[in-house]
Amino acid sequence: AHDSETEEWRVLQFVVDSARGVCTQSITKVFAARSAGQLRACARTLALGYTRACVSVALSAAHALGSPLLEAAASPRALVIGLGAGSMPLWLGAQLPSRLRCDVVELDPTVVAAAMGALGFPRHVVRDCQGLLAAATDLFISDSDRLAVYLCE
């Protein structure tokens, strides 16, 4: 965090129903600007065990299959199903070589709005697509962005 920012932990929860209460979907660290109220997600933290496990299994499987993830000449791609707070795609982008492309598909606009508005996920990478076919087409045609989130209602 910069001197003008404070660190905060934020939780994304969904109300299941009155009998079962809430379900914690994500926990993430954000940096909040003291003056402007702007948020920036911390890309180097995976707070929940299941996010660390998902990333560990994916990277281990890629290595076992001979993927050159850590080689400088590699151009690895990752597909994340479901955005949540955006911790996994941000972490992958921060930890793997600069040529990693990470695509995320999210169906629920409420999740995307929460990630951007309350959890500091960057707005400029979100693409509002008219269905999964449009997202898939853009995913395979576009090669300019390292991170893209496809909102497919």
Residue 119 · residue 41 · CB < 8 Å: yes
One-letter amino acid at 53 equals: A
Give pLDDT, residue 141: 74
11 Cβ neighbours under 8 A, 6+ residues apart: 24, 26, 27
For residue range 127-137, what is the model confidence (pLDDT) as tens digits? Answer: 888 777 887 78
The gap from C-alpha 18 to its chain's centroid, in whole angstroms, comes to: 29
Give pLDDT, residue 144: 63
Residue tagged 């169906």 (tokens)? 107
Give pLDDT, residue 143: 64
Low-confidence residues in the chain, pLDDT < 70: 1, 34, 72-74, 97-98, 143-144
Local structure of 129: helix, strand or coil:
strand
